[in-house]
């Protein structure tokens, strides 16, 4: 055979899953093809093909619609239509079942140019030829086709090719995420190493009953800056150089006193199997320099910041340390300028979007707290107790560098009318300080300096009661930021009661949840990609993919509804989904899939922003499809379909259409 | 050029001795009354050393079968022919076949025998078919002492008829194979050898019939 079908072979090699095939398998493949031409406006798949076929679009465009006539996808050059060959088995996917075990509408909506997790191990595809999707060419189109039997043969001969069609959305998403967060060999490190592996020596332990002097002697002899204090093999406290200085020498306490007097008793520990990064994050958030590592109940050792020295991602810890020392807004501004660098560094060491969100939010928390301290130092102590509340992404610990600020003040009911003067000044100082540090004023004015959001507890209680018991769509849209609320500074514990009350009220309040559900499904994910466009519901094309409003926000909104409908306390989206999986609101599979989809889109978003920051551009949420590999597009499409299905299920459960 | 009739075919059959061309004429031509969708076609292109079939030689032949509305890529063939004498430089620029490659090519008789087997009982598709018909006719006369008769769809003629019927003014360049392929949103191949031109003609044919067919088909006669 001297004929070269090389140009067709080259075309295939550029498109998944054919790119997976070795050259020996790719080279003879074009000879198996038939070529067809469908002028614009023709039915697809062509109804005169006798046997069932797989189609590859060489030129043109095809719109695919479900049984209801809704546009569900659009094929362009290089896209594949395998539904006819894979539609033999009903269902087979996970994630689409709601808690009552009913199948969601998935079987219609879950097929695009990339067929969903049908059980493709069944070669006797007798009812092939009955696709649930039908299409129409919207441009003059040239197609390659091969019979399902040939396709089947190819799949059984090439597992790497078959993988593209096999497995559920679940397994594909998981793989995509693993591939995405695999750290590059050069930077690796904290994302792969466990806390256990970071430990460099056996822990130095003593009893809390020994004298302060004896403790100091042991620390000197062992050359450590912290000593673990054990009681009956259980960790009861820790003492550091700083404690000796601040709590003993500076206060003139006798060194003959038991060390228990000056130890820190409430201790945060980390599991030995946690990632090094998580340990670092915890230390950053708590602003501590030592962290005991435990295996179950057994103490293995202690991590100190010096253990992280060899990893460059340490800067987070030092940033927080610097923030605590900053004595002016200007100093804080200088520190906050470094946050984009931190984000870039974390991404290059393989951090997921979740990790970055935690780290960046920890910095924002620290800056906010420091601004409060500075304001209190200037204005004097507050006349009555108050709590500084943060909302939105900061509350969820999902910030990326320099989001808008969302915050509020909760003041003890004992406040008098005149006290507001103090709190207004406090709020203005912190809001202005945050703005100076790059956390720009909330466009919706959800800030403590806005009088409405600087109120005593009883008013807040009234607010929430109104929102929940007498929901109206407009007010709820504004209020959704208040259903992701966390107390950042609350020495008197004012917020806990309010939070409990909110959850109590919202749980099982079907009307309220129905309104929230209607809101939650307003942000639809795209249908997929079409050439270098993003295809959205209704058939419009966008030039960029809005990673936030069409990516992470739909999942954040779903998680909020699950949490509120079952009275779950977590605020972080992943924690909410994990908690919801233990309730009737969400299946375990559904939760796992949404978490993977969230991590995937969020990581993509963070990486996109890191690239922009690296190039000295301002970070945004708009990604051009040409920046995605064909494979990433496929993964994203899986994520879109999943979100769409979960929205569908939620919408049906609460008949959300009636409340929209 | 008028389409040959069954009478012509039977006459040739009587005059010929046993051989590839007689075998070819042994199969009836597809009837013009047939629905075009039930006919088999051979899309074909030649590269030659010049335009004069009496003097110039065939350098390569590419072809692919079209069954009704489908091109069958399994049938794709590209044959290089051994050429007598040097290839003129002015044509070598176009087809890019070198003397060495041609010297390694197949004998014309062997390729023609294979091709006649493929053409038997089928309709030829070519773009500006005059060249293909005249060279194949000359080759058959030289080898078998009798010319080639075949029913033929000329995609260039179909295109001209479409322009004229719709009263669309056109420049000659718009009748070129690649301009027409572009008009129908067909792929543009980088290689310009006999095979890819045959494939392009086959794809153009599919597009032309798709635009002519209202869904009920039509007779082969309308294409000849």
d(CA A544, CA A524): 15
pLDDT of residue A169: 66
Do A533 and A547 belong together in one domain? Answer: yes
A115 lies in a domain? yes
Residues of B in contact with A60 (CB under 8 A): 185
Could you tell me which chain A residue has the CA closest to the CA of B206? A37
Mean pLDDT of chain B: 92
Q: Is residue B85 helix, strand or coil?
A: coil
Query: Cβ of A7 and B191 within 8 Å?
Result: yes
Looking from the CA of A567 toward its CB, the CA atoms found within 13 Å total 11
Domain that holds residue A80: 6-167
Do A520 and A630 belong together in one domain? Answer: yes
Do A258 and A111 belong together in one domain? Answer: no
The CATH H-level superfamily of B6-223 is Ribonuclease H-like superfamily/Ribonuclease H (3.30.420.10)
Query: Cβ of B207 and A39 within 8 Å?
Result: yes
Closest to A76 measured CA to CA, from A68, A66, A85, A64? A64
Give the residue extent of every domain in chain B. Answer: 6-223
Return the H-helix or E-strand segment holding B73: strand B70-80
A173 lies in a domain? no
Say if residues B220 and B35 touch (Cβ distance below 8 Å).
yes
What tokens were used for B52? 């004069």
Query: Cβ of B187 and A37 within 8 Å?
Result: no
What CA dihedral angle connects A162, A166, A172 and A175, to 10 degrees? -50
Q: What pTM does this model have?
A: 0.74
Residues of B in contact with A10 (CB under 8 A): none
Residue contacts between A and B (CB atoms, under 8 Å):
68
ipTM value for the complex: 0.94
Query: Cβ of A36 and B70 within 8 Å?
Result: yes
B80 CB near a chain A CB, below 8 Å?
Answer: yes
Closest to A198 measured CA to CA, from A296, A299, A306? A306
d(CA A460, CA A413): 10
Total number of residues shown for chain A? 660
Residues of B in contact with A6 (CB under 8 A): 191
Residues of B in contact with A48 (CB under 8 A): 69
Under DSSP, the state recorded for B51 is: S
d(CA A448, CA A408): 4
Do A328 and A469 belong together in one domain? Answer: yes
Q: Is residue B175 helix, strand or coil?
A: helix
Residues of B in contact with A2 (CB under 8 A): 78-80
Do A129 and A222 belong together in one domain? Answer: no
Residues B15-72 have pLDDT tens digits of 998 999 999 999 999 999 999 999 999 999 999 988 999 999 999 999 999 999 999 9
d(CA A291, CA A148): 59
B63 CB near a chain A CB, below 8 Å?
Answer: no
Say if residues A513 and A504 touch (Cβ distance below 8 Å).
no
B41 to each of A604, B65, B70, B118, how far by Cα in Å?
A: 51, 6, 10, 9
What tokens were used for A446? 């959800």
Say if residues A276 and A311 touch (Cβ distance below 8 Å).
yes
Query: Cβ of A35 and B62 within 8 Å?
Result: no
Residues of B in contact with A5 (CB under 8 A): 73, 76
Could you tell me which chain B residue has the CA closest to the CA of A140? B185
Based on the structure, what is the number of domains in chain A?
A: 3
What tokens were used for B26? 């042994």
Query: Cβ of A35 and B202 within 8 Å?
Result: yes
CA of B61 to nearest chain A CA: how many angstroms apart?
A: 11
Query: Cβ of B80 and A140 within 8 Å?
Result: no
A1 lies in a domain? no
A155 lies in a domain? yes
User: Among B70, B73, B184, whose Cβ lies nearest the Cβ of A31?
Assistant: B73
d(CA A221, CA A204): 11
d(CA B220, CA B224): 7
- Dihedral angle sign, alpha carbons of residues A215, A220, A221, A226: positive
Query: Cβ of A35 and B71 within 8 Å?
Result: yes
Please enumerate in sequence order all residues whose Cβ is within 8 A of that of A590, keeping only pairs 6 or more positions apart, or say none: A95, A97, A98, A581, A646
Closest to A474 measured CA to CA, from A450, A454, A444, A452? A444
A366 lies in a domain? yes
pLDDT of residue A105: 33
pLDDT of residue A634: 83
A20 lies in a domain? yes
pLDDT of residue A109: 36
Side by side, which strands form the sheet with A62-65?
A43-44, A134-137, A62-65, A71-75
Residues of A in contact with B73 (CB under 8 A): 5, 8, 30-35
Query: Cβ of A142 and B187 within 8 Å?
Result: yes
B118 CB near a chain A CB, below 8 Å?
Answer: no
- Helix segments in A538-587, DSSP class H: 553-566, 573-580
CATH code, A64: 2.60.120.10
pLDDT of residue A16: 83
Do A540 and A626 belong together in one domain? Answer: yes
CA of B60 to nearest chain A CA: how many angstroms apart?
A: 12
- Dihedral angle sign, alpha carbons of residues A124, A129, A134, A135: positive
* A483 phi/psi in degrees, rounded to 5: -90, 0
pLDDT of residue A310: 60
User: Among B73, B184, B190, whose Cβ lies nearest the Cβ of A140?
Assistant: B184
Query: Cβ of B73 and A5 within 8 Å?
Result: yes
Total number of residues shown for chain B? 224
B203 CB near a chain A CB, below 8 Å?
Answer: yes
Residue ranges in chain A modelled with pLDDT below 70: 1-3, 88-131, 167-170, 179-192, 309-317, 402, 478, 656-660
Do A201 and A265 belong together in one domain? Answer: yes
* β-sheet bridge partners, residue A103: A97
The counts of H helices and E strands in chain A are 25, 23
Residues B173-191 have pLDDT tens digits of 999 999 999 999 999 998 7
Do A35 and A121 belong together in one domain? Answer: yes
A186 lies in a domain? no
CA of A4 to nearest chain B CA: how many angstroms apart?
A: 8
- Dihedral angle sign, alpha carbons of residues A259, A260, A262, A264: positive
Query: Cβ of B196 and A59 within 8 Å?
Result: no
Do A158 and A199 belong together in one domain? Answer: no
The counts of H helices and E strands in chain B are 9, 5
DSSP state letters, A397-451:
T---TT----EEEEE-TT--TTHHHHHHHHHHHHHHHHHHTT-PPPTT--STTSG
Could you tell me which chain A residue has the CA closest to the CA of B209? A37
CA of B37 to nearest chain A CA: how many angstroms apart?
A: 11
pLDDT of residue A99: 32
Q: Is residue B162 helix, strand or coil?
A: helix
Tokens 């050069």 belong to: A186
Do A211 and A134 belong together in one domain? Answer: no
Could you tell me which chain A residue has the CA closest to the CA of B68? A36
pLDDT of residue A123: 40
Do A324 and A290 belong together in one domain? Answer: no
A183 lies in a domain? no
Residues of B in contact with A37 (CB under 8 A): 69, 184, 186, 203, 206-207, 210
Do A25 and A160 belong together in one domain? Answer: yes
Could you tell me which chain B residue has the CA closest to the CA of A1? B77
CA of A143 to nearest chain B CA: how many angstroms apart?
A: 10
CA A502 to chain centre: 24
User: Among A2, A37, A39, whose Cβ lies nearest the Cβ of B203?
Assistant: A37
Query: Cβ of A142 and B186 within 8 Å?
Result: yes
Closest to A513 measured CA to CA, from A453, A469, A482, A554? A469
d(CA A218, CA A231): 17
Residues of A in contact with B206 (CB under 8 A): 35-37, 142
Could you tell me which chain B residue has the CA closest to the CA of A38? B210
């Amino acid at each position: 055979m001297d004929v070269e079908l090389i140009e067709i072979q080259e075309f295939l090699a550029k498109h998944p899953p054919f790119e997976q095939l070795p050259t020996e398998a790719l080279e003879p493949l074009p000879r198996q093809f038939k070529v067809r031409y469908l002028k614009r406006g023709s039915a697809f798949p062509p109804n005169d093909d006798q046997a069932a076929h797989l189609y590859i679009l060489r030129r043109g465009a095809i719109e695919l619609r479900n049984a209801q006539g809704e546009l569900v996808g659009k094929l362009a050059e290089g896209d594949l239509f395998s539904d006819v060959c894979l539609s033999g088995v009903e269902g087979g996917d996970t994630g689409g079942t709601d808690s009552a075990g009913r199948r969601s509408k998935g079987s219609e909506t879950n097929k695009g140019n990339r067929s969903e997790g049908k059980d493709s191990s069944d070669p006797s595809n007798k009812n092939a030829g009955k696709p649930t999707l039908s299409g129409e060419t919207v441009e003059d189109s040239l197609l390659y086709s091969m019979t399902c039997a040939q396709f089947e043969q190819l799949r059984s001969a090439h597992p790497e090719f078959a993988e593209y069609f096999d497995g559920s959305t679940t397994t594909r998403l998981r793989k995509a995420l693993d591939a995405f967060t695999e750290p590059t060999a050069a930077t690796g490190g904290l994302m792969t190493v466990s806390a256990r592996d970071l430990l460099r020596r056996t822990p130095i332990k003593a009893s809390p009953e020994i004298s302060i002097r004896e403790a100091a002697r042991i620390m000197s002899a062992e050359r450590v800056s912290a000593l673990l204090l054990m009681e009956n093999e259980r960790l009861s406290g820790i003492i550091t150089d700083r404690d000796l200085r601040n709590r003993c020498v500076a206060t003139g306490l006798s060194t003959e006193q038991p060390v228990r007097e000056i130890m820190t008793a409430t201790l945060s520990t980390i599991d030995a199997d946690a990632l090094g990064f998580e340990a670092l994050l915890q230390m950053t958030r708590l602003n501590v320099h030592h962290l005991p590592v435990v295996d179950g109940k057994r103490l293995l050792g202690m991590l100190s910041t010096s253990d992280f020295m060899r990893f460059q991602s340490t800067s987070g810890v030092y940033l927080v340390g610097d923030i605590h020392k900053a004595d002016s807004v200007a100093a804080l501004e200088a520190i906050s300028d470094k946050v984009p660098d931190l984000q870039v560094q974390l991404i290059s060491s393989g951090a997921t979007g979740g990790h970055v969100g935690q780290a960046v939010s920890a910095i924002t928390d620290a800056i906010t707290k420091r601004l409060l301290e500075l304001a209190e130092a200037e204005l004097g102590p507050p006349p009555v107790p108050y709590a500084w509340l943060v909302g939105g992404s900061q509350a969820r610990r999902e910030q990326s560098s320099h989001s808008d600020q969302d915050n509020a003040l909760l003041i003890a009911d004992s406040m008098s009318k005149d006290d507001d003067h103090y709190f207004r000044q406090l709020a203005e100082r912190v809001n202005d300080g945050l703005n100076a540090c790059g956390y720009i004023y909330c466009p919706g004015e959800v800030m403590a300096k806005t009088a409405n959001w600087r109120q005593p507890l009883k008013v807040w209680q009234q607010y929430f009661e109104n929102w929940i018991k007498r929901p109206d769509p407009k007010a709820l849209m504004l209020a959704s930021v208040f259903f992701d609320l966390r107390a950042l500074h609350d020495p008197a514990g004012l917020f806990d009661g309010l939070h409990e009350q909110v959850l109590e009220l919202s749980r099982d309040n079907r009307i309220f949840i129905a309104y929230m559900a209607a809101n939650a499904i307003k942000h639809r994910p795209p249908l997929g990609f079409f050439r270098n466009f993003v295809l959205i519901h209704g058939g419009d094309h966008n030039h960029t993919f809005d990673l936030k409003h069409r990516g992470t926000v739909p999942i954040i909104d779903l998680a909020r509804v699950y949490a509120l409908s079952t009275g779950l306390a977590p605020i972080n989206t992943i924690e909410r989904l994990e908690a919801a999986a233990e309730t009737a609101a969400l299946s375990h599979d559904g939760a796992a899939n949404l978490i993977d989809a969230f991590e995937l889109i969020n990581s993509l978003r963070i990486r996109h922003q890191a690239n922009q920051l690296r190039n000295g551009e301002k970070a945004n949420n708009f990604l051009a499809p040409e920046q995605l590999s064909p494979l990433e597009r496929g993964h994203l499409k899986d994520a879109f379909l999943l979100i769409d299905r979960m929205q569908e299920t939620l919408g049906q459960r609460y008949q959300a259409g009636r409340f929209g | 050029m008028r389409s040959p009739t069954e009478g012509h075919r039977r006459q040739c059959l009587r005059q010929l001795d046993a051989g590839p061309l007689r075998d070819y004429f042994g199969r009836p031509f597809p009837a013009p009354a047939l629905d075009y969708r039930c006919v088999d076609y051979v899309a074909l292109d030649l590269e030659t050393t010049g335009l004069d079939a009496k003097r110039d030689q065939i350098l390569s032949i590419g072809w692919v079968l079209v069954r009704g509305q489908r091109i069958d890529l399994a049938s794709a063939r590209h044959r290089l022919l051994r050429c007598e004498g040097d290839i003129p430089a002015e044509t070598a620029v176009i087809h890019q076949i070198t003397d060495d490659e041609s010297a390694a090519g197949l004998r014309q008789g062997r390729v023609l025998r294979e091709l006649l087997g493929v053409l038997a009982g089928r309709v030829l598709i070519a773009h500006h078919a005059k060249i293909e018909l005249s060279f194949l006719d000359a080759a058959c006369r030289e080898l078998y002492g009798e010319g080639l008769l075949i029913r033929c769809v000329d995609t260039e003629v179909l295109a001209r008829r479409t322009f004229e019927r719709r009263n669309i003014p056109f420049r000659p360049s718009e009748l070129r194979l690649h301009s027409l392929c572009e008009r129908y949103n067909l792929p543009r191949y980088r290689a310009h050898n006999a095979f890819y031109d045959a494939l392009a003609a086959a794809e153009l044919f599919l597009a032309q019939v798709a635009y002519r067919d209202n869904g009920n088909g039509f007779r082969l006669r309308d294409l000849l």
